C-alpha cells in the first residue's frame, strides 16, 4: 500500500538559510499534518491542512510557513534557520472526520550547521 512520502530524507543547511520540505500524502487522504521531533523528545504538532486550508496551528515559529496544494501535497517552508531548528520533521496524512488515524512518513532530518 502507498505510504506518505517525504522529501528530502536528509537536509543540511547553514544558519540563516532557507529550507523547503515536501510531503505527499496517501492517495485520497485530504488532511496533512506536520510535526517536529527534537533529539530525545516526542513529536510536537506544528500545523495541519484540510482541503488546502489551514485547519489547526501549533507551536510553529513565524519563520515557518506551510501550504497544501491542489494535488494535496504539502510543503513546509523554513526561513532564517537557527541551530535549534535541527530536528526530524514528520508529515502525516489522514482522511477527514473523527477517529481517523494519522499515517506518518519517514521524516526529513534537518541539520543546521
Q: Which of 70/98 has CB closer to other proteins?
A: 98
Q: Which of 61/79 has CB closer to other proteins?
A: 61
Examine residue 42 and tell whether it contacts other proteins (CB under 8 A).
yes
74 contacts: CB under 8 Å, gap ≥ 6: 22, 23, 25, 32, 34, 49, 66, 67, 68, 91
Examine residue 35 and tell whether it contacts other proteins (CB under 8 A).
yes
Examine residue 70 and tell whether it contacts other proteins (CB under 8 A).
no
Of 90, 93, 110, 112, the one binding other proteins by CB under 8 A: 90
CA distance 80 to 70: 27
In 1-113, DSSP assigns E strands to 5-7, 10-13, 19-24, 31-37, 44-50, 53-57, 64-68, 74-78, 87-94, 103-104, 108-112
Q: Which of 13/109 has CB closer to other proteins?
A: 109
Binding site for other proteins (CB under 8 A): 4, 6, 31, 33, 35, 41-45, 48, 55-56, 58, 90, 92, 94, 98-107
Amino acid at each position: 500500500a502507498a505510504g506518505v512520502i517525504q522529501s528530502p530524507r536528509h537536509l543540511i543547511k547553514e544558519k540563516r538559510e532557507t529550507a523547503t520540505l515536501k510531503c505527499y500524502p496517501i492517495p485520497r487522504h485530504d488532511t496533512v499534518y506536520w510535526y517536529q521531533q527534537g533529539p530525545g523528545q516526542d513529536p510536537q504538532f506544528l500545523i495541519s491542512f484540510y482541503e488546502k486550508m489551514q485547519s489547526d496551528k501549533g507551536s510553529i515559529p513565524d519563520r515557518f510557513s506551510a501550504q497544501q496544494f491542489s494535488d494535496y501535497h504539502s510543503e513546509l517552508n523554513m526561513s532564517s534557520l537557527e541551530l535549534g531548528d535541527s530536528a526530524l520533521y514528520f508529515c502525516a496524512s489522514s482522511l477527514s472526520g473523527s477517529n481517523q488515524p494519522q499515517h506518518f512518513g519517514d521524516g526529513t532530518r534537518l541539520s543546521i550547521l
